Amino acid sequence: MQRRTFTALGAAAVVAGALPAPAFAQQQAAETYTWKNAVVNGGGFVPGIVFNETEPNLIYARTDIGGCYRWQEATRTWKPLLDWVGRDNWGWSGVVSMATDPVDTNRVYAAVGTYTTDWDPGNGAVLYSDNRGETWGAAELPFKQGGNMPGRGMGERLAVHPGKNYELYLGTPSGNGLWRSHNFGRSWSKVGNFPNPGNFVVDPTNPYSADNQGVLWIEFDQIGGNIYVGVADPDDPLYVSRDGGATWQPVPGAAAALGRADGNRTIPKQAAVDNTNGHLYIITSYDPGPYNGGPASGRGGRLLRLATQTGAWTDVTPPYNPGRAIPGFGGITVDRQNPGTLMASTCNNWGPDEILFRSTDSGATWQTSWDYSDDAGRVDRFTMDNTGSPWLSWNGQNEGDTYAVKHGWMIEALAIDPHDSDRIMWGTGATIWGTDNLTQWDTQGELVRRDASGRRLAQPVQKFTVGVRAEGVEETAVLDVAALGGTLVSAFGDIGGFVHTDLDRAEPMTRSDWSTATSVDFAHWNPNVIVGTGNPHDNGVGHVGVSTDRGRTWRAASPLAGVPGGGHAGVVAIAANASVILWSPSDTSVTPVRSTDLGATWTPVQGLPAGAKIRADRVDSPIWYAFSGGRFYRSTNGGANFTDTGASGLPTAGVDDFRVVPGHWGHIWLAGRGDEKLGIGGGMWRSQNGGSTWTRISAIETALSVGFGKAANGTAYPALYTSAEIAGKAAIYRSTDAGGTWQRINDDAHQWAFAGSAITGDPLIYGRVYLTTNGRGLIYGDIA
Return the beta strands (E) in 295-444 as ranges: 303-307, 313-315, 329-334, 342-346, 356-359, 367-368, 370-373, 377-380, 382-385, 414-416, 424-427, 432-435
Cβ-count burial of 678 within 10 angstroms (0-12 exposed, 13-18 middle, 19+ buried)?
exposed
Gyration radius from the chain CA atoms:
27
Decide: 767 and 783 in contact? Cβ < 8 Å.
yes
Closest CA to 72 of 128, 132, 124: 132
Decide: 429 and 348 in contact? Cβ < 8 Å.
no
Neighbouring-strand partners of residue 80: 69
**SS3 state of residue 92:** helix
Decide: 100 and 108 in contact? Cβ < 8 Å.
yes
Closest CA to 356 of 378, 326, 336, 335: 326
**SS3 state of residue 439:** helix
Q: DSSP string of 569-599? A: --EEEE-TTS--EEEE-S-TTS--EEESSTT
Query: Residue 757: CB partners within 8 Å, gap ≥ 6?
Result: 479, 656, 657, 704, 705, 723, 772, 774
Query: Any idea how long the chain is?
Result: 784
Cα–Cα distance, 387 to 567 (Å, whole number):
31
Decide: 227 and 217 in contact? Cβ < 8 Å.
no
Peptide bond into 390 cis (omega under 30): no
Q: Give the residue numbers marked as catalytic.
A: 64, 494
Closest CA to 179 of 189, 187, 166: 189
Cα–Cα distance, 112 to 775 (Å, whole number):
14
Closest CA to 156 of 300, 332, 327: 332
Return the beta strands (E) in 157-302 as ranges: 158-160, 168-171, 178-181, 189-190, 215-221, 226-231, 238-241, 249-250, 260-261, 264-265, 267-274, 279-285
Query: Residue 257: CB partners within 8 Å, gap ≥ 6?
Result: 282, 302, 304, 306, 313, 315
Decide: 159 and 220 in contact? Cβ < 8 Å.
yes
Cα–Cα distance, 555 to 544 (Å, whole number):
9
Closest CA to 582 of 497, 525, 523: 523
Decide: 669 and 621 in contact? Cβ < 8 Å.
no
Which CA distances in Å does 21 have to 95, 160, 727, 767? 44, 57, 17, 22
Q: DSSP string of 261-322? A: ETTEE-EEEEEEEETTTTEEEEEEESS--SS----SSS-S--EEEEETTT--EEE---S--T
